[in-house]
Amino acid sequence: MVDAGGGENITQLPQELPQMMAAAADGLGSIAIDTTQLNMSVTDPTAWATAMNNLGMVPVGLPGQQLVSDSICVPGFDPSLNMMTGITPINPMIPGLGLVPPPPPTEVAVVKEIIHCKSCTLFPQNPNLPPPSTRERPPGCKTVFVGGLPENATEEIIQEVFEQCGDITAIRKSKKNFCHIRFAEEFMVDKAIYLSGYRMRLGSSTDKKDSGRLHVDFAQARDDFYEWECKQRMRAREERHRRKLEEDRLRPPSPPAIMHYSEHEAALLAEKLKDDSKFSEAITVLLSWIERGEVNRRSANQFYSMVQSANSHVRRLMNEKATHEQEMEEAKENFKNALTGILTQFEQIVAVFNASTRQKAWDHFSKAQRKNIDIWRKHSEELRNAQSEQLMGIRREEEMEMSDDENCDSPTKKIRVDESALAAQAYALKEENDSLRWQLDAYRNEVELLKQEKEQLFRTEENLTKDQQLQFLQQTMQGMQQQLLTIQEELNNKKSELEQAKEEQSHTQALLKVLQEQLKGTKELVETNGHSHEDSNEINVLTVALVNQDRENNIEKRSQGLKSEKEALLIGIISTFLHVHPFGANIEYLWSYMQQLDSKISANEIEMLLMRLPRMFKQEFTGVGATLEKRWKLCAFEGIKTT
């Protein structure tokens, strides 16, 4: 593992022209170069290139030349690839799905060249030997293990060799012959792995301490894994954000919020109702306001004008519908004409096939040609029949529509096109006149409301108190009038009772006279016949009983008796009710109780029934002044006690 601060003291050496080596490495086999045989300047790049070409090797390590081609590493690698949105997070642990493409197939041998540096030279291994093995690549690996270094190799030499692979962030060298190198990007690790197997020779020395075979492998580092996890979490966040944006884009838009009612908003809404493009939105707002209960006495005229604007939109919709219907009729007519032309051409094609099947032409065709012509003729006839049936169906529909129009409209009601246009124009003018008249009525109502509001504002407290006093006086007058009416009714009842009593008195007096005359006659008969005094007493008792019976008969005649079983039932119920109310009850209280039993009975009917039975029910007055009240009481038990 490489320490983050391990690369602070490392200095980078500039790349210069490498010096010519004296002898070739072991990987070149039997090829060797003797320095005594070279008679050229080592610092001359042209001479160096010529010598390498003579040996059959491509010279590398020249200034400006790339160490490893991009085709070996990630092709067209973009370091900002992981920041792109819309890419599913990739797990580099899965084979074949990592950011780094798989290594080239083992069947194809990769030709490696000699790499020359300022302080050392790298010789490739024998191509016939198998490539060096590597461990499984850790996720987010940016650190490599480099083994097999020469004992005399320093950090400066190591940095000089591996900085050609990319930016080095840290180098940590061990006392033994290995080190760990951490690069800035992951693709640089693949370039470093490419150097595995090379033999490293320091300068022109042939000492064992100055040579070694490099072994470059992936290394596990906590810093690399931590950065890889951070990138994965960042990709997951970007993916969640992308999916959320996609869901928000596919989610149907929520309806716009309905603004609260105000006079300013109502004026804007009235203008929107007159615009065809904004009518749908405006009518939704108007419906919401009406359902919320925004219509009151003050805003009624304004809402009426908006409803009127909605009504005027009906005329626009009808005109639009008529336009679309006309377009549909024109499209139908064009379709029918086109279908007629197609059918005509089908008829001509079928006629050609029929002519070809006749004897004078049919005999000259071969058997295969006759078969094809016969197939083509049958197919064309089927298509012709289908098109003909479709056209006949359209014509039948038109005939049915025409017949329906004739049945619905009598000949007297048929109007020409010009007359219908004039009628439509007259109807439009009439609707416009009605709308103007309605607007005028609305303005009048608004003016009247404003006048009433001004009158209410100018009314003072004195007027309010006077109105209250006047209402109180009217209520007292009505109460006094009702009392006078009740007293007048009672007076009339008393007068009628007095007249009945006078009639009874006269009747009893006449009866008494008749009985006295009869008594005198009986006394004379007794005296003449000599009857005893006891018989006369019996006669007197009999006359008194007759008088009482006659009086009772007169009272029963005056009460006029009961007319039906219903009245007897009502008297029993009323008697029970008044018996449990010893202080009496007014006629309204009694009527409300009786109405629960019989909803059709009236208070007047109950009062007349009580007046017909004076020996069972009597009327009394309670209270003084405005609290004067007339109550009915049960007096039947008082009559029994007196008798």
Is 119 or 235 the better-scoring residue by pLDDT? 235
Is 309 or 73 the better-scoring residue by pLDDT? 309
DSSP lists the bridge partners of residue 170 as: 182
Reduced to 3 states (helix: H, G, I; strand: E, B; else coil), residue 217 is: strand
pLDDT band at 105 (very low <50, low <70, confident <90, very high): low
Listed residue (637, 587, 625) closest to 607, CA to CA? 587
pLDDT, tens only, 26-51: 333 333 333 333 344 444 555 445 54
What are the two backbone dihedrals, phi and then psi, of residue 178, each rounded to the nearest 5 degrees? -150, 165
Distance CA 203, CA 595 (A): 133
Q: Are 3 and 155 in contact (CB under 8 A)?
A: no
Instruction: Please tell me the predicted confidence (pLDDT) of residue 16.
Output: 35
Question: In what helix (H) or strand (E) does residue 123 lie, and over which residues does it extend?
Answer: strand 120-123
Instruction: State yes or no: pLDDT of 76 exceeds 50.
Output: no
With a pLDDT cut of 90, the percent of the chain lying above it is 15
Would you call 146 exposed, middle or buried from its count of C-beta atoms within 10 A (0-12, 13-18, 19+)? buried
Listed residue (118, 296, 297, 148) closest to 208, CA to CA? 148
Instruction: State yes or no: pLDDT of 541 exceeds 50.
Output: no
Mean model confidence pLDDT for the chain: 76
pLDDT, tens only, 150-181: 988 888 989 989 999 999 999 999 888 899 99
Instruction: State yes or no: pLDDT of 441 exceeds 90.
Output: no
E strand map for 148-274: 168-173, 178-183, 199-202, 211-213, 215-218
Would you call 74 exposed, middle or buried from its count of C-beta atoms within 10 A (0-12, 13-18, 19+)? buried
- How many residues comprise the chain? 643
Q: Are 266 and 302 in contact (CB under 8 A)?
A: yes
With a pLDDT cut of 70, the percent of the chain lying above it is 72
Question: In what helix (H) or strand (E) does residue 257 lie, and over which residues does it extend?
Answer: none
DSSP lists the bridge partners of residue 173 as: 179
pTM, two decimals, is 0.30
pLDDT, tens only, 584-631: 888 888 888 888 888 888 888 888 888 888 888 888 887 776 677 888
Distance CA 178, CA 164 (A): 19
Q: DSSP characters for 40-65?
A: S-TT-HHHHHHHHHHTT------TT-
Instruction: Please tell me the predicted confidence (pLDDT) of residue 404.
Output: 64
Average pLDDT score over residue span 493-512: 85
- Look up residue 96 and give its two tokens: 């074949």
Which of 93-97, 287-291, 429-433, 458-462 comes out lowest in average pLDDT?
A: 93-97
Strand 215-218 and strand 199-202: the pairing is unpaired
Average pLDDT score over residue span 420-448: 79
Distance CA 347, CA 387 (A): 11
- Look up residue 558 and give its two tokens: 């005056």
Winning range, highest mean pLDDT, from 66-70, 266-270, 522-526:
266-270
Winning range, highest mean pLDDT, from 147-151, 412-416, 594-598:
147-151
pLDDT band at 331 (very low <50, low <70, confident <90, very high): very high
Average pLDDT score over residue span 357-378: 88
Which of 313-327, 406-420, 496-510 comes out lowest in average pLDDT?
A: 406-420
Which of 223-237, 397-411, 497-511, 512-526 comes out lowest in average pLDDT?
A: 397-411
Which of 310-314, 327-331, 504-508 comes out lowest in average pLDDT?
A: 504-508
